[in-house]
Amino acid sequence: MSTLTATREARRPEVTVLDVDAIVARTNPHNTLRQTVSQTMSMAWRATKKMRRNPEQFFDVTFQPIIFTVMFAYVFGGAIAGDVKSYLPLMIPGILAQTVLTTCMATGVQLREDMDKGVFDRFKSLPIARIAPLAGPMVADLLRYTIAATLTFAMGMVIGYRPGGGVLGVTAAILLAIFTGWCLAWAFTWIGTIAKSAQAVQGFSMMILFPLTFLSNAFVGINTLPDGLATFVKINPVSHLVTAARDLANNGQVTSEVWWTLLAGLIVIAIFAPLSVRSYKKHL
Amino acid sequence: MPTTTNAVQATGLVKTFGTFNAVDGIDLEVRQGEIFGVLGPNGAGKTTMLKMLATLHAIDGGSASIFGVDVAKEPHRIRQLLGVTGQYASVDENLTATENLWLFGRLQGVSSKEAKDTAARLLGQFALEEAADKPISQFSGGMRRRLDLAASLITRPPLIFLDEPTTGLDPRTRGQMWDTIRGLVADGSTILLTTQYLDEADQLADRIAVIDRGVKVAEGTPDELKSSVGDSTLQLQLADGADQNLALDVVRRIVGQEPVLTPESGRLNVGLDLADGAADVLIGLRQAGVSITSVSVDKPTLDEVFLALTGHDTGTAETTHDEELETVR
């Protein structure tokens, strides 16, 4: 016993003494806004590294716009608009909205997967803003929205779409879609923080996604729908995005639909960002 | 001691999951500059307690402060004072070792350049330079643990929590980890570590608390704790289980204390103050005509400390108790 004690002491010859009071005095009670932004950008950096090392994460944003654009154009074009070419101005903004929404869903699924990993334990134990681990990946996802939106228009033009709004109109439509996607992603992030598994997020998000995209004017005109359905379609925020994108891309017009879309997006953030942070904290 | 403030001061900590109290009223006092060991079996509540102190679990009852800062009221300050290394390496699989350390530095407000320098210094200190630019997926268990510990030290926190730092490591890596931990204390840090191994607590800790089912059952220096079970243990396997009562009498007479029956039939553990005492017991048994199939003398295990302190072993108590009755019958 005595030998053990002796070795223990012999192994710690010089001990540095920390001035703990000074260290405690240097701690901050809260993160400043600047710190929060910087932490979010660090988390965004992490997410882009992850994307680069797992390129399969880009499959949904590359193949879906290409395949869906071609598929919908040739399957529904003749039936809905008489021919493919006259269907494109109606359909491309619809596909744009649909693609962006699917990308949002991936945000929630990936967050859920990520949160189960050990590194999130460390994020929680660090003095960082609780919103940073959620907002960081979403900032990186802006890249995914941009790819998805741009590819949708590019593919449309390959099969004969000639947007009347010109470069400016199309760019505006793409930016609006990216913004809306980013706002709506907060709702899926919230689902990501409350669901038990990534599969659950996927399943639940699909149930929301399908009615939202198909019960809108994304692929057909509202005048073809029965009254009750038409009412829902008119208030569906996806319809506002689709109409706004059509006005911008096809006519180069900034209509009131743009403002409705922006407002709807901000409302979604105002509701779901705090909910997400709260439920993320609960996960501790 | 530079000041009288304790590194950790906790009173009556309670954590409830549903109706189950994972931590059931634990008091803890960790002094500055010491290594404090929390010893206990799986599921004793060690990790839960650590997580409460690290602001990762809400405190359901009692109170805790770290260097005088209230854990429940000022979690953000607490997170700046702590380095936490969990049971499972909490580093990012998608990043390299350098990128991991750089990210954790940046997140804590270290400038990009300084974070890079710190990462290089820590990787050197933990013998990970060669793996600096490899993805973590190629790391061995020991390397991950070291990287994980390095990640906790970026801002040189004055208090470090180590949750089972050597569980699953091979003996050589384990020894290296012990040296690293001693080095941290020499640099002025205070360490609170949990372990399932008595020898680890014995090697490292200045003081130990033994936790069982959410309750602290003992506290003291390693020497005090071990003296409760003797310095070594004589393990005997009798050739004939029927000799058990006779053997018990012999041992009581020679050692002067009650031997411990293990669940296996005809097996006894005898606590000894000195390993030399084993010979006396063996001679006594030979004279009494008790034949033995195997003998060994060992350091007391956590199981024995537990038996001595709690009256049940580290497994589920109910079954063990039944088995013991079986053995006696």
Interface residue B12 vs chain A (CB under 8 A): no
Task: State whether residue B282 sits within 8 Å of chain A by CB.
Answer: no
Using CB atoms within 10 Å of the CB of residue A44, give its burial: 0 to 12 exposed, 13 to 18 middle, 19+ buried. buried
Q: How confident is the model over B278-285, as a mean pLDDT?
A: 88
Rounded Cα gap, residues A142 and A47, in angstroms: 11
Collapse the DSSP code of A36 into the 3-class scheme (helix H, G, I; strand E, B; otherwise coil) and give the result.
helix
- pLDDT band at residue B316 under the 50/70/90 scheme: very low
Those of residues 132-151 in A touching chain B at CB distance below 8 A are 132
For A125, which residue in chain B has the nearest alpha carbon?
Answer: B79
Question: Which pLDDT belongs to residue A106?
Answer: 87
Looking at the partner chain, which of B54, B58, B69 has a beta carbon nearest the beta carbon of A125?
B54
**How close A55 comes to chain B (CA, Å)?**
12
**Contact A121/B86, CB-based, under 8 Å?**
yes
What pLDDT, on a 0 to 100 scale, did the predictor assign at position B2? 46
Instruction: Give pLDDT tens digits for B225-272.
Output: 777 766 778 888 888 888 888 888 888 888 877 787 776 777 888 878
In contact, B282 and B270? CB cutoff 8 Å: no
For residue B43, the distance in angstroms to the closest alpha carbon of chain A comes to 18
pLDDT at A8 over 70: no
Whether residue A4 and residue B32 make contact (CB cut-off 8 A), yes or no, is: no
Nearest to A119 among B92, B185, B188 (CB): B92
Per domain, the residue ranges of chain B are 8-221, 228-328
* Min Cα separation B243/chain A (Å): 34
ipTM over 0.85: no
Lowest-pLDDT choice from A175-189, B185-199, B264-278: B264-278
> Per-residue pLDDT averaged across B23-49, rounded?
92
Which two structure tokens, joined as six digits, stand for A97? Answer: 């909205």
The answer to whether A186 and A104 are in contact (CB under 8 A) is no
CATH topology of domain B228-328: Alpha-Beta Plaits (3.30.70)
Question: Which residues have a Cβ under 8 Å from the Cβ of A185 and sit 6 or more positions away?
Answer: A103, A104, A107, A108, A138, A141
Q: How far apart are CA A241 and CA A181, in angstroms?
A: 10
Please report the pLDDT score of residue B29 as a whole number: 95
Confidence (pLDDT) at A117: 85
Kindly report the number of other CB atoms within 10 A of residue A124's CB atom: 22
Express as a percent the part of chain B with pLDDT over 70.
Answer: 90
Q: Give CATH superfamily name and number for B8-221.
A: P-loop containing nucleotide triphosphate hydrolases (3.40.50.300)
Report how many Cβ contacts below 8 Å link chain A to chain B: 132
Can you give the pLDDT at residue B312? 64
Predicted local confidence at residue A4, as pLDDT: 47
Averaged confidence pLDDT in chain B: 85
- Digit-coded pLDDT (tens) for B204-226: 999 999 998 899 988 988 888 77
**Confidence category of residue B273, pLDDT binned at 50, 70, 90:** confident
At residue A1 the predicted structure's pLDDT band, cuts being 50, 70 and 90, is very low
Rounded to a whole number of angstroms, the distance from the CA of B318 to the nearest CA of chain A is: 32
Q: Which residues of A touch B67 (CB under 8 A)?
A: 20-21, 23-24
pLDDT, one tens digit per residue, over B52-106 is: 999 988 999 999 999 999 999 999 999 999 999 987 768 898 899 999 999 999 9
Q: How confident is the model at residue B301 (pLDDT cuts 50, 70, 90)?
A: low
Q: Which residue of A lies nearest to B206 if distances are taken between CA atoms?
A: A8
3-state secondary structure of B230: coil
Distances (CA, A) of A202 to A93, A106, A113, B283: 24, 8, 11, 72
User: What was the pLDDT predicted at B321?
Assistant: 36
**Residue of B194, B200, B204 lying closest to B40 (CA atoms):** B194
List of chain A residues whose C-beta atoms are within 8 Å of the C-beta of residue B158: 18, 20, 23
Q: Is B215 on the interface with A (CB under 8 A)?
A: no
Residues B48-82, buried b or exposed e (16+ Cβ, 10 A)? bbbbbbbbbbebeebebbbbebebeebbbbbbbbb
One-letter amino acid identity for A213? T
Rg (CA), chain A: 24
Chain A contact set for B226 (CB, 8 A): 1
Q: Please, what is the end-to-end C-alpha distance for chain B in angstroms?
A: 56
What percent of chain A has pLDDT above 70? 94
Average pLDDT over residues B260-288: 82
* B84 close to A (CB below 8 A): yes
Lowest mean pLDDT among A8-12, A121-125, A187-191, B235-239: A8-12
Rounded CA separation B210/B310 (Å) = 10
pLDDT at B320 exceeding the cut of 50: no
3-class DSSP assignment, residue B190: strand
Closest CA to B90 of A254, A117, A221: A117
CA distance A138 to A111: 9
- CA B315/CA B38 separation, integer angstroms: 18
Are A11 and B187 in contact (CB < 8 Å)?
Answer: no
Q: How far apart are CA B6 and CA A41, in angstroms?
A: 37
Distance from CA of A39 to the nearest CA of B (A): 5
In the predicted model, what is the mean pLDDT of residues A88-92?
90
End-to-end CA distance of chain A: 42
Nearest to B89 among A35, A43, A118 (CB): A118
Contact B313, B303 (CB under 8 A): yes
Q: Which is higher by pLDDT, A81 or A11? A: A81
Contact B26, B215 (CB under 8 A): yes
pLDDT tens across B102-157, in order? Answer: 999 999 999 999 999 999 999 998 889 999 999 888 888 888 888 999 999 999 99
Lowest pLDDT segment from A66-70, A202-206, B302-306:
B302-306
| A111-130 residues touching B, CB cutoff 8 A | 117-128
From residue B32, give the alpha-carbon distance in Å to each of B1, B50, B189, B191, B324: 7, 17, 8, 9, 43
Q: Which helix (H) or strand (E) holds B296?
A: strand B292-298
Tell me which chain B residue has its CA closest to the CA of residue A280: B56
For B207, phi then psi, to 5°, come to -140, 155
DSSP B263: S
Residue A5 pLDDT grade (very low, low, confident, very high; cuts 50, 70, 90): very low
* Between residues B271 and B312, the one the model is more confident about: B271
Q: Give the minimum alpha-carbon distance from A63 to chain B in angstroms, rounded to a whole number.
A: 24
Which residue is it, tokens 């002067």?
Answer: B256
Contact A235, A115 (CB under 8 A): no
Q: Give the model's pLDDT for residue A216.
A: 87
B64 in helix, strand or coil?
Answer: strand
Mutation target vs A (from B3, B81, B92; most A CBs, 10 A cutoff): B92
Residue B221 corresponds to which amino acid? Answer: T
- Structure confidence at residue B93 (pLDDT): 87
Spatial contact of A28 and B80, defined as CB atoms under 8 Å apart: yes
Tell me the pLDDT tens digit for each residue of B158-175.
999 999 988 888 888 888
Residues of B in contact with A115 (CB under 8 A): none
Interchain proximity B69–A27, CB inside 8 Å = yes
What residues does each domain of chain A span?
Answer: 34-282
Cβ <8 Å between A45 and B86: no
B165-183 b/e with 16+ CB inside 10 Å = b? bbbebeeebbebbbebbbe
Q: How far is A249 from chain B (nearest CA, A)?
A: 39
| Residue numbers in B near A127 (CB within 8 A) | 76-77, 79-80, 108
Instruction: Say whether residue B54 is in contact with chain A using an 8 A CB cutoff.
Output: yes
Per-residue model confidence (pLDDT) at position A14: 61
Residues near B177 by Cβ (< 8 Å), separated by ≥ 6?
A: B142, B145, B146, B149, B165, B166, B169
Distance between CA atoms of residues A76 and A84, nearest Å = 8
Token digits for B15? Answer: 């954590």
CA angle, A144 then A146 then A151, to 5°? 100
B8 or A121, which is more confident: B8
Name the phi and psi angles at A146, rounded to 5.
-60, -45
Mean pLDDT of chain A: 87
Confidence tier at A3 by pLDDT (50, 70, 90): very low
- DSSP, res B299: P
Q: Which residue has the higher pLDDT, A95 or A10?
A: A95
Check residue A114 and give its pLDDT. Answer: 87
